[in-house]
Amino acid sequence: MKPIQMADLIGQYQKIKDEIQQEIGKVLDTATFINGPIVKEFQAHLEDYLSVKHVIPCANGTDALQVIMMAYAFKPGAEVIVPSFTYVATVEVIALLGLKPVFVEVYPDTFNMNIEDMESKITDNTVAIVPVHLYGQCADMERIMKIAKARNLKVFEDTAQAIGADYTFSDGAVAKAGTIGDAGSTSFFPSKNLGAYGDGGAITTNDDELAAKLRMIVNHGQSERYYHDSIGVNSRLDSIQAAILNVKLKYLDDYSAARQKVAKRYNDVFSTVSEIDAPLTADFTTHVYHQYTVKLKSAEKRDALNKFLAEKGVPSMIYYPVPNHLQKAYSYYGYKEGDFPITEDLCSRVISFPIHTEMEADQQDFIIENILKFFEKNLG
C-alpha cells in the first residue's frame, strides 16, 4: 500500500507529467513568464468551463477577495457579513481594508452560512455578504441573493474550496459556484481542487464594468501603462502556473468525480456508525469534496482519534480548531465565547479524513478500518 496523505499531489502529477512538462517547456522556450498568451488562454477556458463572462486571474485566493472589495471602495467601517466558520483569509481581507467583519453562524449539517442569522445581522451599515462554499458544497445562493437584492447588498462568493460545484435554483436553472453573486473568488493553491504548482487565484464576475475595474486593480490600478487611475496591487497569475492550470482544468470534472467516489464510500460506512455524523449535502448543490469532514458525537474523542490515526499512518486534520470570532487577531471586535454556539461546537467536533483524486481502494480500506478500530467496531 502506498503511504496515505491528505492530498496525493505527487500521484496526480505522475499521470499528467508529460503534458505538464511540455506546456511548462513552451513558457520557458518563449520566456513569456508574466502575462504570456497562456494566461489569456487559461482565462478563456475557465470562463467557458464556468459559463461566466469574466475570469480575472490573480496571484492567490486571498488577493482575489481583497481586490473585489477594493473595487467597491466601501467606506471605512462598513459592515461585511461573513461566517465565523471559515478559513481566516475570508475574514482577513475585510479587516485589512478597514471594513468590519460581522460574523454569522453556519448550519450544523452543511457547515454553510446560516441564512436566518445572516438576515438578522443586516444593519444600515451593511454593504456586502460573503458566503463561503465550505468544504466543496454551495451555500444557499438563491436565498442569499434574494435577501441581498432586497436590501441592496453585494454578494461575494468565496469559492476557494468549491470550484466546479453546481448550484440548482428552484426553477431548475443550474450555475457554477462563484458565478451567482456579484463576484466570486477562487484559489489555485496546490491542494485545492484545481491546484497549481505554486500560488494562484482568480475572480469571476458577469459584470462588465466591475471586470474592467478588477483588471485595473490587479495591475497597479492602471488601464494604460504608467497611467494609474486608482490605487491597485500587483497580483498576477504567472504564465507557468497558467500553463499547469490549463492542463489540469481539462481533468477537473474527473477529479471531482474521483473525490465523490471516495466520499460515497466513506458515507456508506459512516452512516452505520453512531459515533460519527457523515457530512450531508444540501439538495440544491453538488459537492466536490475539497474536504471530507465529519462531526464526531463526542468532542472528547476527536483529538484522541486524530492521534490514534496518526500513529497508524493515517493523517487527519481539524478544519478549523478555532472559529474566527475567537481568534486573537480579531478580538478587538469584541466577540466572546458563546456568541456562536453552533460554530464553536463544530470547531470542537469536526475532523477531516484523507480525500483526493488518487485514493486507492486498499488505502481507503486501511483508513476506514482504523477509524472503525478506534470506535471498536468491525466492518460489515
Output the furthest CA–CA distance in the chain (Å, rounded): 68
Site for ligand PLP in 42-61 (CB under 6 A): 60-61
Contacts of ligand PLP in 139-198 (CB under 6 A) = 158, 160-161, 187, 189
Which residues contact residue 194 at a Cβ distance below 8 angstroms, ignoring those fewer than 6 apart? 163, 164, 186, 188, 245, 248, 249, 252, 255
Query: Scanning the structure block, which residue is given the C-alpha cell 486571498?
Result: 62
In whole angstroms, the minimum distance from the beta carbon of 36 to ligand PLP comes to 21
Q: Within a 10 A sphere around the Cβ of 198, how many other Cβ atoms?
A: 15
- Least Å distance between CB 379 and ligand PLP? 32
If binding is defined by CB under 6 A, does position 131 make contact with ligand PLP?
no
Task: State in angstroms the smallest separation of the CB of 192 from ligand PLP.
Answer: 6
Under the binding rule (CB under 6 A), the answer on residue 86 touching ligand PLP is yes
Q: Which is nearer to ligand PLP, 140 or 158 (CB)?
A: 158
Member of 32, 62, 239, 293 binding ligand PLP (CB under 6 A): 62
Instruction: Catalogue the active-site residues.
Output: 192
> Least distance (Å) from ligand PLP to the CB of residue 131?
11
Q: Does 84 bind ligand PLP (CB under 6 A)?
A: no
> How many helices and strands, by DSSP H and E, does the chain display?
12, 14
Q: How far apart are CA 251 and CA 245, in angstroms?
A: 10
89 is an interface residue for ligand PLP by CB under 6 A: yes
Rule CB under 6 A: choose which of 104, 128, 132, 243 binds ligand PLP. Answer: 132
Cβ proximity of 265 and 289 under 8 Å: no
Contact flag: residue 87 with ligand PLP (CB under 6 A): yes
Output phi, psi for 295, to 5 deg. -110, 135
Size of the site for ligand PLP (CB under 6 A): 15
Backbone phi and psi for residue 3, each to the nearest 5 degrees, phi listed first: -55, 145
Comparing C-alpha atoms, which of 210, 203, 175 is closest to residue 188? 203
Q: List residues binding ligand PLP (CB under 6 A).
A: 60-62, 86-87, 89-90, 132, 158, 160-161, 187, 189, 199, 201
